[in-house]
């Protein structure tokens, strides 16, 4: 029992150190106001559009490429935000695999509303197991411009989004710009749980990895802005890989490019998704990380300190020192959470804070399940992951 007490005690102390690291790097990253993107909202558009358009003259024209599968919550608003930018010269291309996809009528209506801006391509026969990157490969061939932004279909962007994510590309050493995302105003427990994972755990962990690695060595699929020449240099799209966004960032960094993480956090409307939906998606992410990071994945055991407090209390028979360590652990965890909420301007998450223990338990469960196994579910398809994130269609 003493051995177990020591083991859980060390895991909790390591976890407290992790929470403190999350708080430090989150605060330092988002408080660097000198380079914080200035977000233009709808109410500011009339006042600022003239100056923004003038500023955009020095920028290259941009092609925004959006792979679509199904109709996400708030789809019209999300896609309209991409088509209403203050940027001077850009296009938006949407690609769909299934010719019967329910998103197609909405996309056609969008093309009618923005005839000079939007092009829609449907029935794109898959070129590989990764349908998302397959669709992007078609759109990349159709894109008219050499500055490219890959965007997930479930995010909503501000009016000057293009300026925000392409400005760093003016530096030839920057080969990629990527953005994190959270749901700022979840409408269900599942959506809140999903947003917690991104705001409290994923983004802070990403910032710690960025510091340890001496720069970002991955990308986030919600937004990847790049130049066509840089994309060719680091190997382009891979059509048979899970977590291709993660991998493409790793390849860009390996090719000597800077991968820039924007301080602007995108809005991702997770609708009213269930906890089961969150579990299946994040289990896919966990196994993706394991196949991309290798043994480093198992060091993430220190990300789950609050979960280890319960067995410590039980096996120590609620010893005073165990109670004190538990209180310190939860205090530091909630301070770290509040710093994340402040840094990412997500005050509406506060009303869901009662669900943090559930989030932490789910995260631990996902980490355990992600530490073994090769099968994942992705958009209703069962896939098998192997060798650095390559995928095949699973037979079982």
What is the pLDDT, as a whole number, of residue 145? 96
Any domain includes 16 = no
Model pTM?
0.88
**H/E run at residue 2:** helix 2-30
The pair phi, psi for residue 56, each rounded to 5°, is -75, -15
Task: State residue 393's pLDDT score.
Answer: 77
Q: Is residue 9 part of a domain?
A: no
Structural domain including 61 reads 27-284
Q: Is residue 232 a part of any domain in this protein?
A: yes
Q: CA–CA distance from 311 to each of 1, 16, 242, 326, 329 (Å)?
A: 11, 16, 35, 11, 14
- Cα 325 to Cα 16, 319, 329, 394, distances in angstroms: 10, 10, 6, 45
Angle (nearest 5°) at CA 197 between 376 and 331: 140
Number of domains in the chain: 1
- Per-residue pLDDT tens listing for the chain (396 residues): 899 999 999 999 999 999 999 999 999 999 875 455 666 654 444 344 434 443 443 579 999 999 999 888 789 999 999 999 999 899 999 999 999 999 999 999 999 999 999 999 999 999 999 999 999 999 999 999 999 999 998 889 999 999 999 999 999 999 999 999 999 999 899 999 999 999 999 999 999 999 999 999 999 989 999 999 999 999 999 898 887 888 899 999 999 999 999 999 998 866 678 899 899 889 988 988 888 788 889 999 999 999 999 999 999 999 999 999 999 999 999 999 999 999 999 999 999 999 999 999 999 999 999 999 888 887 777 888 887 778 887 765
Whole-angstrom distance, CA of residue 250 vs CA of residue 176: 11
Q: How far apart are CA 134 and CA 137, in angstroms?
A: 5
Is residue 249, in this structure, part of any structural domain at all? yes
DSSP secondary structure letters along 137-171: HHHHHH---SEEEEE-TTEE--TTHHHHHHGGGGS
* Residue 320: burial class (beta carbons within 10 Å; 0-12, 13-18, 19+): exposed
pLDDT score for 57:
38
Q: Is residue 1 part of a domain?
A: no
Query: What does the pLDDT read at residue 53?
Result: 42
Taking a C-beta distance cutoff of 8 angstroms, is the pair 189, 355 a contact? yes
What is the per-residue pLDDT across 349-366, written as a single tens digit (0 to 9) for each?
A: 999 999 999 999 999 999
pLDDT for 50 = 39
How confident is the model at residue 46, as a pLDDT? 38
For residue 91, the domain's CATH number is 3.90.550.10
Q: Which of 222, 203, 202, 225 is nearest to 268 (CA)?
A: 222
Tell me how far CA of residue 212 lies from CA of 25, 136, 192, 355, in angstroms. Answer: 11, 31, 29, 30
In a domain, 150, yes or no: yes
Q: Give the residue ranges of DSSP H helices in 224-319.
A: 228-233, 244-254, 275-293, 305-315
Distance CA(359)–CA(345), nearest Å, equals 20
Residue with tokens 């998302």: 132
Domain-embedded: residue 375:
no
CA distances from 297 to 10, 245, 251, 284 (A): 18, 18, 19, 14
pLDDT of residue 171: 93
Determine, yes or no, domain membership for 307: no
Exposed e or buried b per residue across 37-59, where buried means at least 16 C-beta atoms within 10 angstroms of its C-beta: beebeeebeeebeeebeebbeeb
- What would the pLDDT profile of 221-244 be if each residue is shown by its tens digit? 899 999 999 999 999 998 988 878
Given a contact cutoff of 8 angstroms between Cβ atoms, the answer to whether 147 and 60 are in contact is yes
């Amino acid at each position: 029992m003493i051995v177990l007490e020591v083991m859980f005690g060390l895991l909790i102390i390591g976890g407290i150190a992790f929470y403190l690291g999350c708080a430090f790097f989150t605060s330092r990253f988002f408080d660097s106001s000198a380079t914080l993107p200035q977000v233009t909202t709808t109410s500011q558009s009339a006042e600022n559009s003239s100056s923004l358009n003038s500023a955009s003259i020095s920028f290259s024209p941009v092609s925004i490429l959006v792979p679509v599968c199904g109709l996400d919550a708030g789809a019209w608003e999300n896609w309209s935000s991409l088509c209403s930018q203050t940027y001077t010269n850009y296009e938006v291309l949407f690609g769909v695999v299934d010719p019967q996809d329910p998103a197609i009528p909405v996309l056609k209506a969008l093309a009618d509303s923005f005839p000079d801006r939007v092009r829609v391509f449907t029935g794109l026969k898959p070129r590989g197991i990764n349908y998302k990157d397959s669709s992007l490969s078609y759109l990349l061939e159709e894109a008219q411009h050499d500055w490219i932004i890959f965007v997930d279909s479930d995010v909503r962007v501000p009016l000057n989004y293009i300026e925000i994510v392409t400005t760093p590309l003016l530096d030839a050493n920057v080969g990629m710009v990527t953005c994190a995302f959270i749901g700022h105003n979840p409408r269900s427990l599942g959506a809140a749980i999903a947003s917690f994972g991104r705001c409290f755990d994923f983004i802070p962990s990403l910032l710690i990895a960025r510091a340890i690695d001496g720069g970002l060595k991955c990308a986030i699929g919600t937004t990847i802005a790049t130049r066509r020449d840089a994309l060719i240099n680091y190997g382009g799209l891979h059509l048979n890989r899970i977590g291709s966004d993660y991998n493409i960032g790793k390849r860009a960094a390996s090719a000597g490019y800077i991968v820039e993480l924007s301080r602007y956090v995108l809005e991702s409307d997770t609708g009213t998704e269930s906890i089961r939906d969150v579990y299946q998606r994040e289990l896919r992410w966990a196994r993706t990380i394991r196949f991309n990071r290798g043994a480093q994945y198992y060091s993430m055991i220190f990300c789950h300190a609050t979960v280890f407090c319960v067995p410590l209390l039980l096996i120590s028979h609620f010893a005073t020192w165990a109670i004190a360590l538990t209180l310190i652990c939860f205090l530091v965890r909630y301070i770290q959470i509040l710093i994340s909420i402040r840094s990412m301007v997500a005050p509406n998450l506060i009303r869901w804070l009662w669900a943090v223990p559930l989030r932490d338990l789910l995260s631990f469960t996902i980490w355990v399940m992600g530490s073994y196994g090769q099968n994942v579910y992705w958009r209703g398809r069962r896939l098998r992951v192997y060798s650095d994130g390559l995928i095949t269609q699973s037979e079982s």
